[in-house]
Amino acid sequence: MNPRSIAYVMGTLLSVTAVAMILSAICSLCYGNEGDLAAILISAAISGVIGFPIRRIFRHDHDLNIKDAFVIAAFGWVIVSAVSALPFVIHRSIPCFTDAFFEMMSGYTTSGATILTDIEVVPHGLLFWRSETHLLGGMGFLTLTIIFLPHGMGGARIFRAESSPGQVITRERFLARNRDAIVVLWIIYLILNLVQIGLLCAGGMSLFDSLCHAFGTVSTSGFSPYNASIGHYDNAYFDWIIILFMFLGGVTFMLFYHLARGDWRVLRVNTEFRWYVGFMLVFCGAVTLILWGEGTYDFANALRHGTFQVTSLLTTTGFTTQDYELWPQAAQMFLFAVCFIGACAGSTTSGIKVIHYVVIWKFMVAAIKRIFLQPLSVASVRINNRPIDQSIIDLAVCYFIVNIFLVLGGGCFMALVDDMDYLSAMSSVIATLMNIGPGFGSVGPSENYAHISDIGKWFLAWNMLVGRLEMFSALVIFYPSFWRR
């Protein structure tokens, strides 16, 4: 392990955080300084005073191995979330550090879970900072930091430590895993944000609201400056624009790169994308028909609200237009199931991911065929028209099982420490581990996480980190052998 190189990266993380806070300070000034400017500037100064000197002192230490990358991935998010919580603590809009840390970890991990009982009383500068954490965390805060690291420092290892296991399965490489590839990803990401901001503004949404909601949409995160989320507007145009960009945020970003180069064949070849579209059509159609058939809405509104909520939960965004816990039980069951899916690997979403379901389903079909129907057959599992190794199948199965164990174990833990009903306990873990935000029961769309104990909040914040780092990068540091030479 190389402590000096790790310190250099951590210093870079803090430096980027300090610079990012300046945008929130500018926002505060635009709204006449509602009392939050000093808190933002003090926090930026603290982050900069710590970060810039560390970066300078260790600027010649550029040797990183994969173990260092795992340490940076696990602890970098914690450090940045802690520093980013300072504006809220200093301003006293969130006086408790545990609550402020929870809010910022939720922001960076694109979870969208909140402890704020009245979002609309928070000053604009702090609301902008809250949404800006989505912009920074959507593509992975560490990937942004890699851009500012020297060539050859091992940025590819950090990217690997923060990436989804599903990207191993799909073998998505459009450029070498280096700064150039990350720059291309960020350009695509920012273009999607800018296009959505323009479309929302064109529909009459204010620039501030457009920025906040675009940051929370393309990053599939879910923070809104309003208590009622997107339902605040009750506007079909806004709903459909946000549905479109939530869907795009759930698409593998590698596809955008190929489409920009005129290679449309990838849409037909990419197995995960076809399944993603299939999941969307099935669940959106089912919820729409239930809402329409039960007389909850007319067909147009059933399609609008059903599609919005399915897309929001499947892509782990967490925006809401309606309180879906007031919907028929059948519709709620479909929404609950959607929470376990997630979108595509290599996108801004979290969750189990479509590709793991594809691999497990194809492996199951091949195994049943081989065991019961054609014992002498040799059936391979194919993804993107290519056979995949058994080790890849093992990874997909292992990843799925670990998710289920964490949900079950976490649900039991929350029921014990917070005396929650089983639905709320399980849902709180699912909503944070899958980085969704709202769940069911006492953490449903009309509720928040303020009532949960400090122990419960720290546990759920840890779940957010584990979910965002796709399990293994966050769990491997608990192995004693990891810390041995």
pLDDT at residue 403, rounded to an integer:
93
Task: Please enumerate in sequence order all residues whose Cβ is within 8 A of that of 109, keeping only pairs 6 or more positions apart, or say none.
Answer: 77, 137, 350, 435, 464, 465, 467, 468
pLDDT at residue 170, rounded to an integer:
57
Task: Please enumerate in sequence order all residues whose Cβ is within 8 A of that of 320, keeping only pairs 6 or more positions apart, or say none.
Answer: 228, 229, 230, 231, 309, 312, 438, 445
pLDDT band at 436 (very low <50, low <70, confident <90, very high): very high
Q: What's the mean pLDDT in 195-207?
A: 97
Report yes or no: 41 and 104 within 8 Å, Cβ to Cβ.
no
**Mean pLDDT over all residues of the chain?**
89
Residues in the chain: 485
Report yes or no: 341 and 357 within 8 Å, Cβ to Cβ.
yes
* Radius of gyration, CA atoms only, the chain: 22
pLDDT band at 156 (very low <50, low <70, confident <90, very high): low
C-alpha–C-alpha distance, residues 29 and 32, integer Å: 5
Q: Which residue has the higher pLDDT, 151 or 234?
A: 234
Q: What is the separation, in whole angstroms, between the first and last Cα of the chain?
A: 8
Q: Is the pLDDT of residue 458 over 90?
A: yes
Q: Is the pLDDT of residue 239 over 60?
A: yes
pLDDT in tens, 255-279: 998 888 888 888 888 999 999 999 9
pLDDT at residue 166, rounded to an integer:
53
pLDDT in tens, 352-404: 999 999 999 999 998 888 888 877 777 778 888 888 888 888 888 999 999 99
pLDDT at residue 175, rounded to an integer:
54
Q: Is the pLDDT of residue 168 over 70?
A: no
Lowest mean pLDDT among 48-57, 103-112, 164-173: 164-173
Lowest mean pLDDT among 38-42, 169-173, 364-368, 421-425: 169-173
C-alpha–C-alpha distance, residues 383 and 274, integer Å: 11
pLDDT band at 477 (very low <50, low <70, confident <90, very high): confident
φ and ψ at 382, to 5 degrees?
-120, 135
Q: Is 270 left (phi over 0), alpha (psi -120 to 50) or beta?
A: beta
C-alpha–C-alpha distance, residues 138 and 468, integer Å: 10
Q: Is the pLDDT of residue 64 over 80?
A: no
Q: Which of 232, 238, 236 is nearest to 214 (CA)?
A: 238
Helix, strand and coil content of the chain, in percent to the nearest 5, comes to: 70, 0, 30
pLDDT in tens, 175-190: 545 667 778 888 999 9
Query: What SS3 state is found at 215?
Result: helix
C-alpha–C-alpha distance, residues 160 and 168, integer Å: 9
pLDDT at residue 159, rounded to an integer:
57
Q: What's the mean pLDDT in 462-469?
A: 92
Q: Is the pLDDT of residue 211 over 90?
A: yes
pLDDT at residue 73, rounded to an integer:
82
- Number of Cβ within 10 Å of residue 50's Cβ equals 18
C-alpha–C-alpha distance, residues 357 and 107, integer Å: 27
φ and ψ at 383, to 5 degrees?
-125, 130
pLDDT at residue 155, rounded to an integer:
54
Task: Please enumerate in sequence order all residues whose Cβ is within 8 A of that of 107, keeping only pairs 6 or more positions apart, or say none.
Answer: 81, 84, 130, 131, 133, 134, 137, 221, 223
pLDDT in tens, 67-120: 877 888 888 899 999 999 999 999 999 999 999 999 999 999 999 999 999 999
C-alpha–C-alpha distance, residues 77 and 95, integer Å: 21
Token representation of residue 423: 């639905």
